[in-house]
Amino acid sequence: MNVRSDALKRDEHGSLISADKVEGTPVHSRDGEDLGTIERIMIDKPSGKVAYAVMAFGGVLGMGKERRALPWQVLTYDTSQEAYVVDMDTERLRSAPALEEDNEGFDWSNRDWGQRLHDYYGASPYWSDSPR
């Protein structure tokens, strides 16, 4: 058995996947347009819920990349495309609330920003229990 197969078995268990395997996964629109890739996921520590996927797109050789947070619930994994799928196109994505270039210093706990983001995507905030 090769190293890749061993790693795959270790990091994927049925419908579960380790966070580091999600990073780098492509994101497509419903019609198959390549929108970008998952750069990281953000998990709410108290609840354990995945709150956001940070998606990177655009740029050349890592320069000029744009980043947008997507509420986790707006993404669906499509096994046939081996990609996450979201109901939007590039223009809608570019119009979404932006992250600062250095998202390390971004205040992810800012509920006003989080509410605007969830409203933009028509999704219930991860901190609420009511689905939309």
Q: What is the pLDDT of residues 61-102, one digit of tens each?
A: 666 788 899 999 999 999 888 899 999 888 888 888 887 655
Q: Can you give the pLDDT at residue 83?
A: 93
- Look at residue 59 and tell me if it is in a domain: yes
Whether the per-residue pLDDT at 3 is higher than 50: the answer is no
| Number of Cα atoms under 13 Å in the Cβ half of residue 80 | 2
- Look at residue 34 and tell me if it is in a domain: yes
Q: Which two tokens stand for residue 17?
A: 């996947």
DSSP string of 7-58, one letter each residue: HHHHHEETTEE-HHHHTT-EEEETT--EEEEEEEEEE-TTT--EEEEEEEE-
The tally of domains found in the chain comes to 1
Whether the per-residue pLDDT at 54 is higher than 80: the answer is yes
- Look at residue 131 and tell me if it is in a domain: no
CATH value at residue 23: 2.30.30.240
- Look at residue 65 and tell me if it is in a domain: yes
- Look at residue 128 and tell me if it is in a domain: no
Q: Can you give the pLDDT at residue 57?
A: 86
- Look at residue 3 and tell me if it is in a domain: no
What range does the domain containing 21 cover? Answer: 12-121
- Look at residue 1 and tell me if it is in a domain: no
Tell me the β-bridge partners of 55.
38, 68
- pTM as predicted: 0.79
